[in-house]
Every structure is written in structure tokens, then in C-alpha cells.
Structure 1
Amino acid sequence: MSLKPMEVPPVPEETARVARAAFPKGTLFLRFRDELGVIYRDEMFAALFPKCGQPATAPWRLALISVFQYVEGLSDRQAAEAVRSRIDWKYSLGLELSDPGFDFSVLCEFRRRLVDGDLGPVLLDALLARFRDQGLLKARGQQRTDATHVLAAIRQINRLENIGETLRAALNAVAAVAPDWLARQVSPEWFERYAVRVEMSRLPKGETERQALAETMGADGHALLAAVYDPAAPIGLRHLPAVQTLRLTWVRQFLIKEGQVRLRQPADTPPASLNGYTPYDTDARFSKKRDITWIGYKAHLSETCDPDEPHVIVNVLTTPAPMTDMEVTALVHQSLASRNLLPTTHFVDAAYVDAGLLTASRADHGIELVGPLLPDTSWQAQAAEGYDLPAFRINWEAHTVTCPQGQIATHWTLTLDKWGSESIRVSFPRPACAACSARPQCTHARDGNARTLSFRPQAEHEAIQEARRRQETVEWRQQYARRAGIEGTLSQAVGRFGLRRCRYIGLPKTALQHIFTAVALNLARIDAWLTGKPVAKTRTSTFAALQPAIP
């Protein structure tokens, strides 16, 4: 299909008349068209369509339909039926009442084009641009960010099933490309093992029998890989995604010992965060946060949070589940900077903050990153009576440190800590520490070992100390209270828009789902803002409400 440039049509008169009569108080979709107009244009999606061929359904309509679909949590079939039968949808889309609609598969094809062309972000950016034009989005205001876990659209299977399904998926992929060649490579037993899904077979119960079956599958997989990588094999088989998944899985799960394929022991396999759990979604990964474990992804939402202004989502970032929040902070700032949406103050929780990010956010983007730094965990700081790091005077120019007793350390070494960040390590003279009367307040080192200190470079060290002092004040706690509202945003995104469960397979498609979710959430919030619907307050139980009355 091809894209034929066209002007966005106005609402047909008959459609407008019937819609006004049917919905005298309006609906979200009617108000959307009246207040915001048409936020998408065909030109935004021109790169996704060829210049010749059968005319395509107007892309601006498909984009809006996809957004409306997420607003109401509809499937593709239900959304296509809504276009055909719903008056308020026809009004927003500028369609005649008699318009027959289209086949639901068009929506899936449109999403595929968006993923292939990496144009998903356009959907959110166009809406935010309209908010800016309408004065609903303030420049350089306050924002807050948090994340939630997202469950992949897969069924969890055990290790043996994963091995069998990975090999079966590779066989199916090769059979689709080179069936005659594959038929010459396999033995009749392979059809018994891999013709149907592995879980449909009667798998052995005993551990010894299960290991033997896994090693049989491992030998079959090695035989297939050897055949595929043989120079006489058809060109391109080795590059099939399912074959590459098979190769990686076999490296992680098997080894060759004395010429035999052997299953690796669990302790000899890669970390859980690196292992694949199904051949059908190779992007899904295992992760754990406190007492929550899941296989899938993480969604990071950033929203504006200025008082007396609508709170809208300005950035959504979907990452693999094991990726830490601290790795995401700089990516969020880069994304906001590229779209001219940077805040002045950015509220985050402790997982998004470290010393380097505090200084880099201010230096690179002029952002005050507000989040609690972890406290000093040394025993001296915990006891509140020993000589902790702030008790020492650091001379940055001379590369020396003076202790509270006046001893000077000159052994100054620049190194890297276990997280790969620059760190400075300083050691005091052993004779001076061994003879010091204040040694019990300074170190518990045995055998006369001297006190050593580790701290970050000057800019980061000073940022840490300043941040720790500030977060002990009442003013900082009052300011940081602004972050709490992001929990309600995540709750709304999960409860109303299904953020926590993947609709599709793979990271790119899941990222597109989260963009649609953010746009739908923004529409719902702006509609509530325009109609004066108040934000729900935190619920208080009847018992808790009695507390102020108790003398």
C-alpha cells in the first residue's frame, strides 16, 4: 500500500449533528476533536509507505484509532468494530456515518510499520507539541520519574522445555526456508521429539531421565548446528534468528566433554539475567526487585508535576528487566533534551541517583536531580561517635588528607571502584595510626594497620556531602514530597491501561505499546483537566481517620 498525501477532512455535517444529539454532554472523543483538533498528519508517517501502489488507509486515522484503542483497552477486532459502529469515534475521525470501516488486520500492519520505521516516539511528541501550543505543558518545570515491572507475553517453562522448544523453533524456521535440505539431515526420531510442542509430550519425572533427555536434545541441536554451518548448507540458514537463538542457548546450556554433549550444572550456567527463557521472546529477561521476581521488561515513566498544572507523561522508556534504574537516568535526560522537554527539577527515588548523576545532570542539562542518596554505611557514621569521612579535611590541590588528630596522609591513589566509577584511595602512615590515642574511634583494623579512606573525585564528593546534609532538613523533605504522586501515575497506567502486561512479543513492540499507553493516559488526564474532574485523593480508612481526634 502507498500513502497518498491528503488534507485532514473536517467532521461531516451529518456526523456532527447526530453526535451532538446522541451525546449532548459530550464524550472524551468528541472533546478531543473539539479541543485539540487532529494531532497527527499523514506527512508524519510518509517514510513508512511506498510512493506507488494501492492507496492506504489514512495513517493519521490509524494512529488515532490505535490511541483510542488503548484508551478503552480494546483488541484490534473491537477497535475496528468501534470505527464502523461508534458515532463518537466517527466524529473524532472525521468519517461519514455510512463509512464501512476496514479490516482489523490493518491495525497490526500499521504497528509493524511503526516498529520497523522507529516512529513510535512521534505519537507522543505530536501530542506534547499540541499541549504546548494550548498552554497545557510548561517549559522547564518540575518532573518526576519512576518505573514498574512489565510481564512478558510468554508462558514460563522449565529448563528442559526451553531446550526442546528452542530446537523445535529452529527446525521450524529452517523447514520454512529449506525443507528438502532439512529432510535429508534429520532422523525419524526427531519427528517424535520435535513435531509437537515439548510440553505436550510425556516428559520423564526422574532427574536422571530428564538429564538424559536434555543431553539427547543437546546432541540433536549440535548436529543441526553443524549441518547449518557446513559450507554445503544453503546460504542464509545460519543467519536465521531462530538458529542464532539455538546457538546461544546451546553455548549457555551445554558443553562438550570427552566428545559427548553434556548438560551444564546450574552453577556453571550464566547469571539468570542473561539467560533466555523462551525462544519466542528472546528479549524477555529475569529480574528481581526486593520480593518481586518476573520475566519481561521495565517501563520508566516521566511526568510533569508542577502545582496547579495538568500532569502529563513527557517520556516513556522501556528497558530489559535487569537494567538498573541508575543506568536509565542519563538516558531519560538525553531523551528529554533532544525533544526540548528538560525540567528544572527532577524528582526520583534512590535507585536513580548517585554522585556522578548529581553533578552530570546539573552540568550537562541544568537539572537539579532530587533524590535520596544512600547514607554513609561505615561503622563510624552508623555509631555517630567515630571519625567518619566528613571528619577528615581533604586538600584537593596538594592531594593530602588530614585526620582529626592532625596526622597527614600523602599516599593518594586514583582507582576504580567495583561499579567502574573513579575513586580516590588514601592511606595514613602505619606508625602514626598504631600510636594514636584516638585509634578506637577511627579504625578497627588489626595488627597495627593504618586507616584508609575511599571517596569520589572533588565535584562528586562535595555533591554527596551537600546532598546528605540537605536531605536531613525539613525543607528538603517537603520538597521531595512532590515525587510521591508518580506512584498514583503508575497505578493508573497499570490498572486502567494495562501497562504491566505485554500485548506483543519483543522489546521493540513492547516499547511501542508503552508509547500508546502514555498517549492514552495523557488524553484521559487532559480530558479530566478540561472538564474539571478533581484528582482522586489518597484514601484514609475510617480507623486511621480517628487518629487526630485522640488526645
Structure 2
Amino acid sequence: MTCDNAGVQGDSDSQGDLWDVSSVAGHLLPEGSVFSFLAEHRFELFPPEMFTDLFPSRRGRPSIAPEVVASVLVLQALHGLSDRAAAEAVTFDLRWKAACGLPVDGAAFHPTVLTYWRRRLAASEHPNRIFEVVKEVIADTGVLNGRTRRALDSTVLDDAVATQDTVTQLVAAIRRVAALVPGAAEVVTRLGTAADYTRPGKPDIAWDDKTARDQLVDALVRDALSILAALTGPGTDPVDPDSPAGQALALLALVAGQDVEWITDDNDTAGGGGRWRIARKVAADRVISTVDPETRHARKTRSRRQDGYKGHIAAEPDTGLITAAKLTKAAGEGSGDAEVGGQLLAADGTLDGPAEVLGDSAYGSGRMLDALAEAGHDAVIKPKPVHTPSGLTEAFTADEFTVDHDRETVTCPNGETALFANKSRTATFGRACTTCPFRSRCTNSVRGRTVHIGEHDRRVRAHRARWARDEQMRRDYRQHRSMIERSIAWMTRGARTLRYRGVAKNDSWWNLRAAAVNLQRLTGLGLSLEDGTWALG
């Protein structure tokens, strides 16, 4: 490999040399592996012009050829290695050297080169270009021609930070404001009375004393509110909300309000008619760490909680090839399976027309079903469970109430009819339930049975009715939808724990991982280059 001084991109010698690993030990590479494929075709897969926009300046320093860095990024994502471990693999593992075209005695680059390239890619107009170029290879092979099924699924990935409790978050958020907001250090020193904010970690108190803990929480929240008022109140200079200082202030405001509530009692220690305490409920979009404010709580079941992010994919179920990938917060706005599923289908790029979309009940929302129908897709999606009143045996489900959407009426199993308004979309039967012979199977509320009619209720009811009568639809779901679990397994094997912080960085890694998994699958199917065209053997 040779380097130039014209820019940050270097050049590779495509001819190799006497000690090139491919020449010396290339025959030992596993046939059909990503290593052997990159050793032979990395120039065609990752041509230098693919990355020229990352380094527009003609001034720079000697560096690494782009196809080498791209190959290392793919192998790193495939094997779940850190930057340092990937650089060591390039130095000491002959398979990595062969894939990158390095000589036996060639040393690797510094690990920060990978960090630098990821930042450049993330800031570019096409941050997921490596995934996109592998999708172009898939399109060239024609392996997806005529395959119009797409399966959707998601999985929760563990974050790279420790979950913090309320006290730790408040202290850390105040310390961050003191470090990043101009003039805040003096304000924190003057107003901060609950703890020594020059020291990290929790204050030193009697943690087995409930009264002491309650007093600390109250004092920390008061400190946070006082500091925010002093730095953002009337007479202060405005702070750019997108700047590090603005983000630190926003995080402090969020942390100071998400986990606490104001109560009035006789234990008020600071005056004002009450005190702050830990809230008896959990915020829906709760920040769980100031180190990574975008990680979230998620629940796979009632008893199993997991902290981190959610990885979403769309895949062709028979081949297992991933056609779109996206990573979101594990919970909160923008993380719902149905919402992201629509985005995945829009970003697929491998479909020429309508598709048969397979998904579990998480994708069975009315909005999703409407969107699929408008796009001409066939929704082979397991319906969401039908709501039934709690505490009743053999209760009437919502499907046993007849809805006239044009007249906006709901008729119960006893023949009683109630109106539902456009705004609330809730039908209340009230007094009609008092003497109803079916009351024990319908409601235990003194106000009678209420039925909510969703905005997309007509579509949801039609979909459930089709699912019940269409045996072929259920057979297709059982046969093909389960195949997405294989693709999810490929994506998470050895890579369930993320290495980066924030949605943007982890989304870039998730897409890079999808590119590596697809390339591994393609090489296993016999991917080759014939007369300048990608083909499967």
C-alpha cells in the first residue's frame, strides 16, 4: 500500500508485492467468506470515488486508502470489534490483511482512523452509503427479482452506559451545566447547597435513612430549579438550544422534572408549603442516563425490562437479505414498530411494486394498515388483540359491538344503540346497562359500558375479519413471517450490546452491520463479478 499527500484519502497498489498475504496464503482463505471476497473485489465494491466527497480539501496528510478503511469497517461491524481490536486484527490476523491487501509485515493504522471516518460518514449527505452500495450489488444479482414479500421486525439492543437513578442524574446534570454554560460555575457554587458539585457521584449521606434521602432529593431539585432560573430567567442572555450549553440546560430541566412531584406535607424542610419527592409513576419517555440521554427503558414482557435502543429491519424472508434498517430509541415518540415499519418500506428501494408485508401484531395499528392499503401493499399482519373489560369472564369484546361508521353509532349485543362523537369517538351506554341481562358479561362499571372507536376502526375491523376467514393468509404468515427471526439473529449474534452513544452513531453502526450481514449472506450464495456485473454462482 502507498500513500499520498494530496488529501486524506490514500491509494492502494492493486498489483500487490512479494509479501502480499493474498499471494503467500490466499489459498488458505475460506472459500465463500467475506475475507476472500474483499481480498479479490474490494476495489470494485468500494471504488475511491465513492468517498471523494468526504474530503473536499486538496490539502491533508498521508493516510489510508478508502477501500481499505471501508473493508475494515465492514469486517469490524461483522465481528463486533472495538476500534482498537479491529486495528490489532489488521496487524496480526492474516485473513484481515488479505482482505485489505496488506503485506505480511504491514502494520495497521491507528484506531482513531476508524473513528475519524465514521464521523465523516455520519456528517455527509449519504451516511449509510456502504449499506446502499451492498443493496446495489443485491439489485445487480437479481436475487430479489420477483420476490415481493417483505417481513418487518425489531429487537431491543443493550446500551453502552449504566442506568442512573434520580440522584445521580441530578448531580451529573448540574455538573454538566457548570462545565459547559459560560458563567454557570459561579452560579452553581453560589446556589448549590445540596451537594458539592465539584465532585462526581452521589453526595455522602446516610443512605439507609429514608428521611435523609427524601431531604436530599428535595434539596437537589430546588438547586436545579434555582440554577435554571438564574441562567435562563429574565435579564439573561439567550442560549442557542442546539449548542452544548443549550443542550446541557435542556437536560437539566428535563431531569429535574421527569422523576419528581410536588407534595404538601408536614415534612417540608425548606419552606414554601411543600417539598419535592420521587414521583410514584414513571415518565413515558424517561431519560435514564445523563451520559447517554437518548437511551430508554423498554419492556419485552411485563416482567422483563431492558435498557437501550431498538433496531428495526425489513428483509426478504426467503433469502434473509435485509432491504432496510433503522435504529431508534427503545421507547417514546418515533420508536413504535408500526411507525418505523412504514419508514422501512419507504426506504426499501428493492421493490418495483406492491408487496406482501408480513409482521406481528405490533405492526397491526390502524394507521399502518391504512398506509399499506394506500400504497397497494397486502398486509399479512397478525391483528392486535381485541380489548376486553378486566375482571370479567367470557366478556364481550369490542368486535361484538356493531359499528355504523357513517351514522356514528354503536349497537351492543343487547340491541341498545349509542352515538359516538367525532372528537372523543367514545360511545357510552350508561343507563341502558342497568337492567341489561348481559351486564355480567359486559361491564362492572357503575357508569355502564363504554366503547372507543378508533380513527381507523373500519380498517382494523375489516383486517380482523379477513384474518379470521382467510386460511391462506394465516398459512402465509406462519410460513414466511418467522423467517425474519433468522435475519434478526444474524444482526444480533455477538452484537447485542452497542458500543456507541446516541441514536445517530448507533443507527450508522446498525446500517453498517446490515451491510456486513448482507455481504456475508451474498458471499455464501456464491457472489462473484462476471464481465463487470455482480452475479450469484
**Distance (whole Å) between structure 2 residues aligned to residue 166 and residue 64 of structure 1:** 39
**Distance (whole Å) between structure 2 residues aligned to residue 378 and residue 341 of structure 1:** 41
1:281 matched residue in structure 2: 292
1:195 matched residue in structure 2: 198
Please state whether the residue corresponding to 1:415 is helix, strand or coil.
Answer: coil
Q: Where does 1:143-292 land on structure 2 (aligned, <5 Å)?
A: 143-174=150-181, 182=185, 186=189, 193-199=196-202, 201=204, 204-229=207-232, 231=235, 239-252=245-258, 264-267=276-279, 271-290=282-301, 291-292=303-304
C-alpha deviation, 1:331, in angstroms: 3.3
Whether contact under 8 Å (1:253, 1:264) holds in the other structure is no
Letter in 2 for 1:370: V
- C-alpha spacing 1:188/1:477, structure 2 compared with 1 (3 Å): closer
Please state whether the residue corresponding to 1:281 is helix, strand or coil.
Answer: coil
- Which of 107, 110, 122 does residue 103 from structure 1 map onto? 110
Q: Where does 1:131-530 land on structure 2 (aligned, <5 Å)?
A: 131-138=138-145, 141-174=148-181, 182=185, 186=189, 193-199=196-202, 201=204, 204-229=207-232, 231=235, 239-252=245-258, 264-267=276-279, 271-290=282-301, 291-306=303-318, 310-323=319-332, 327-342=336-351, 344-364=355-375, 366-377=376-387, 389=399, 392=402, 394=404, 396=406, 412-416=419-423, 423=425, 425=427, 440=438, 455=453, 461=458, 464-471=461-468, 473-481=470-478, 482-496=480-494, 498=495, 500-530=496-526
Whether contact under 8 Å (1:313, 1:518) holds in the other structure is yes
The superposition leaves residues 143-198 of structure 1 with CA deviations (integer Å, 9 ceiling, x where unpaired) of: 21211112221122332222222222332334xx66xx735862699898233321
C-alpha deviation, 1:71, in angstroms: 1.7
- C-alpha spacing 1:208/1:119, structure 2 compared with 1 (3 Å): farther
Whether contact under 8 Å (2:311, 2:510) holds in the other structure is yes
- Indicate whether 1:66 and 2:99 are aligned: no
1:20 matched residue in structure 2: 26
**Distance (whole Å) between structure 1 residues aligned to residue 349 and residue 33 of structure 2:** 32
- C-alpha spacing 1:245/1:356, structure 2 compared with 1 (3 Å): closer
- C-alpha spacing 1:276/1:454, structure 2 compared with 1 (3 Å): closer
The superposition leaves residues 329-360 of structure 1 with CA deviations (integer Å, 9 ceiling, x where unpaired) of: 34333343245234611111111112332232
**Distance (whole Å) between structure 2 residues aligned to residue 87 and residue 305 of structure 1:** 34
C-alpha deviation, 1:530, in angstroms: 2.7
* TM-score, normalization by structure 2: 0.77
**Distance (whole Å) between structure 1 residues aligned to residue 410 and residue 374 of structure 2:** 27
- Indicate whether 1:130 and 2:137 are aligned: yes
Letter in 2 for 1:521: V
**Distance (whole Å) between structure 2 residues aligned to residue 108 and residue 80 of structure 1:** 11
Whether contact under 8 Å (1:145, 1:348) holds in the other structure is yes
C-alpha deviation, 1:296, in angstroms: 1.8
Structure 2 regions of 5+ residues with no counterpart?
Answer: 263-267, 528-537
Letter in 2 for 1:18: V
**Distance (whole Å) between structure 1 residues aligned to residue 139 and residue 305 of structure 2:** 39
**Distance (whole Å) between structure 2 residues aligned to residue 312 and residue 295 of structure 1:** 28
Letter in 2 for 1:369: A
Please state whether the residue corresponding to 1:147 is helix, strand or coil.
Answer: strand
**Distance (whole Å) between structure 2 residues aligned to residue 125 and residue 205 of structure 1:** 55
The superposition leaves residues 211-247 of structure 1 with CA deviations (integer Å, 9 ceiling, x where unpaired) of: 2233443444345434433757797799342233123
- C-alpha spacing 1:35/1:440, structure 2 compared with 1 (3 Å): same
**Distance (whole Å) between structure 1 residues aligned to residue 316 and residue 322 of structure 2:** 7
- Indicate whether 1:82 and 2:89 are aligned: yes
Please state whether the residue corresponding to 2:110 is helix, strand or coil.
Answer: coil
Letter in 1 for 2:207: P
Whether contact under 8 Å (2:46, 2:70) holds in the other structure is yes
The superposition leaves residues 339-394 of structure 1 with CA deviations (integer Å, 9 ceiling, x where unpaired) of: 52346111111111123322320212x22121221354458xx9999898568585
C-alpha deviation, 1:259, in angstroms: 6.1
- C-alpha spacing 1:347/1:244, structure 2 compared with 1 (3 Å): same
**Distance (whole Å) between structure 2 residues aligned to residue 428 and residue 224 of structure 1:** 51
Whether contact under 8 Å (1:157, 1:278) holds in the other structure is yes
Letter in 2 for 1:302: A
Percent sequence identity is: 22
1:535 matched residue in structure 2: none
C-alpha deviation, 1:128, in angstroms: 0.9
- Indicate whether 1:116 and 2:123 are aligned: yes
Please state whether the residue corresponding to 1:131 is helix, strand or coil.
Answer: helix
Structure 1 regions of 5+ residues with no counterpart?
Answer: 418-422, 532-551
C-alpha deviation, 1:413, in angstroms: 4.1
- C-alpha spacing 1:221/1:371, structure 2 compared with 1 (3 Å): same
**Distance (whole Å) between structure 2 residues aligned to residue 267 and residue 448 of structure 1:** 30
**Distance (whole Å) between structure 2 residues aligned to residue 447 and residue 253 of structure 1:** 32
The superposition leaves residues 433-467 of structure 1 with CA deviations (integer Å, 9 ceiling, x where unpaired) of: 999xx96499868999999876567x852552353
Question: Which structure carries more helix by proportion?
Answer: 1
Letter in 2 for 1:173: L
- C-alpha spacing 1:62/1:263, structure 2 compared with 1 (3 Å): farther
The superposition leaves residues 516-543 of structure 1 with CA deviations (integer Å, 9 ceiling, x where unpaired) of: 2222222232233339xxxxxxxxxxxx
- C-alpha spacing 1:220/1:233, structure 2 compared with 1 (3 Å): farther
C-alpha deviation, 1:319, in angstroms: 1.6
Q: Number of residue pairs matched?
A: 505
Please state whether the residue corresponding to 1:340 is helix, strand or coil.
Answer: coil
- C-alpha spacing 1:374/1:278, structure 2 compared with 1 (3 Å): closer
